[in-house]
Amino acid sequence: MRAAARIVAEADRSGVTRLAVLRGESPLLLRRTGPRDTTSATVHLVGGAAGPLRGDDLLLEIEVGPGAHLEIRSVAATLLLPGRPAPPSLLTVRATVAGSLRWLPEPAIAAAGCDHHASTAVEVADGGSLLWRDDLVCGRHDEPSGSVRSDVTIRYAGRTLYRHRLTVGPDAPGWSGAAVLGNARATGSAVLAGPGLPVPHLPAEGAAVMALAGPGVLATATGADIREVQAALDPFCAAMPAPV
Amino acid sequence: MSLATLLVLADGRLPAGGHAHSGGFEAAVSAGRVRDLAGLDGFLRGRLHTSGVVAAAFTAAACAAGLEAGSPQPPDPRALLHPTDLHAGSPQPTAPRPIDPRPTAPRPADPWDVFRRRIAELDDGMDARTPSPALRRASRAQGRALLRAGRAMWPVPAAGREPHHPVALGVVAAAAGLDPLAAATAAAHGTVTGPASAAVRLLGLDPYTVQGLIAALAPECDRIAAASAGTANDPVDELPADGAPLLDIGAEHHASWEVRLFAS
């Protein structure tokens, strides 16, 4: 299944964020939620089909103009499934941000046998702000993890701020060793970029909030289950509230 | 390329401060994530396929940049006897340039300018791949120590005061006349030997069995080095970026301790 979706958020003269484009197709369906005519807009991703499954090729493009504030959530966790023998499922997300973007989807769950590649590229203009959260659960209850490769590139003011790849599952040597995830079966990260960054700290044994070399902070957490990860990351994400 | 020179660079006894770092192993032991040989094996495998892959790729790229800029000169024994000369900076091309017959044509780029730009980009690329400030400090401290050791052996060009360790390793390897494949092999191998020797001290593991783990990973190191040599001229954003969440988290917790055996 191939699908593309696109969101363009723009601020009008009165500072209200309008969605100039909100276009999706199954399984990448988009719904505007929350109040209208405010300085920020919220969009929910609604899964329009099972998966992603092997062979799927999904593209989401996001554009946030100067002065616009966009928050993207999802209505439920994404279950990455095996499907028929086929190339890996692909999810490509490309975003350009001049205003502010908060990406706060529910976790992805790597079901046994899945083979999924996620690729994220975010370009934030100088003065823009970004909160980018990604949570991953390695296998459903009591099953081995499928294969997931997640690539993230976040650039700020024309420079690469954060470049990261996480690979888990049977094709990733040592991923369940103590250097990568150890016994943890859930992990999450949140990158905050732009002005007004929080102070680095250590919220839990398996978590840390770290100052990046550039204008950004990374909160990263691991846990036996997703609740431990959420306990460490949710307060961090809540500390950067959406402008109203 | 001289195999003996590669052995000199990859020698664990090279006075470049590597012995002071456990590669995240001390933090992993303290958090109870590693207790035995099987735990060490998983740690080494994960570290090799994340930090090791990145270190090898950036070492190969820095080495290629060094070779591209100019062939290294054999060390001048007189310079080695006068250590003040060793920090003189990059060897500049001394031959006079032929006058360009077309005054309007753009001058060819100075190879050392190209080198410095690429090295700075690679160093930024390591910053972007190292979210933990403690690991950035550890990498730069080891890079600086390695440059110092390298300058005592070969004519190492200026590469910033405190470059990330893989960048320094590549620059020193090029100055030693090694190729990107050899440099990347030393980098990959180095990411497992550090934690392995720390494991012998921290967990009292049998050194013979630990050495067996390192030997078993040698073919993986070779494969990673070969891939790194193939990407040595790629744009920095496209170089490997494999990360290890627990190495980052562990390093931050480790840095907050008041007493520790290893620097990282």
Query: Which residue ranges make up each domain of chain A?
Result: 2-238
In terms of Cα–Cα distance, which of B115, B110, B106 is closest to B97?
A: B110
Q: Is the pLDDT of residue B89 over 50?
A: no
| Residue-level pLDDT at B83 | 45
Mutation target for B interface from A210, A218, A228: give the one with most B CBs within 10 A.
A210
CA distance A236 to B104: 57
The answer to whether A218 contacts chain B (CB < 8 Å) is yes
Q: Which residue in the set B41, B124, B129 is minimally distant from A164, CB to CB?
A: B129
Q: Which residues contact B65 (CB under 8 A, 6 or more apart)?
A: B114, B115, B118, B119, B122, B170, B171, B174
Would you place residue B207 in the very low, low, confident or very high pLDDT band (cuts 50, 70, 90)?
A: very high
Number of H helices, E strands in chain A: 1, 17
| Residue-level pLDDT at B17 | 82
Mean pLDDT, residues B31-56 taken together: 97
| Residue-level pLDDT at A86 | 84
Mean pLDDT, residues A42-67 taken together: 91
Q: Is the pLDDT of residue B43 over 80?
A: yes
Q: Is the pLDDT of residue B84 over 60?
A: no
Interchain CB distance below 8 Å, A221 and B249: yes
Both tokens of residue A110?
Answer: 């790597």
CA distance A40 to A218: 24
pTM given for the model: 0.91
CA distances in angstroms from B104 to A229, B59, B100, B101, B111, listed in the order given: 61, 38, 9, 9, 20
Mean pLDDT, residues B148-168 taken together: 95
Lowest mean pLDDT across A51-55, A174-178, B12-16, B73-77: B73-77
**A56-69, pLDDT tens digit by residue?**
999 999 999 999 99
In terms of Cα–Cα distance, which of B131, B138, B188 is closest to A163?
A: B131
CA distance B258 to B255: 8
Mean pLDDT, residues A139-168 taken together: 97
Lowest mean pLDDT across A148-157, A218-227, B17-26, B220-229: B17-26
Would you place residue A84 in the very low, low, confident or very high pLDDT band (cuts 50, 70, 90)?
A: confident
| B197 in Cβ contact with B19 (< 8 Å) | yes
Mean pLDDT, residues A118-134 taken together: 97
Mutation target for B interface from A163, A171, A185, A220: give the one with most B CBs within 10 A.
A163
Residue pointed to by tokens 């933090």 = B27
Lowest mean pLDDT across A70-84, A212-226, B100-114: B100-114
Q: Is the pLDDT of residue A243 over 70?
A: no
Mean pLDDT, residues A51-60 taken together: 90
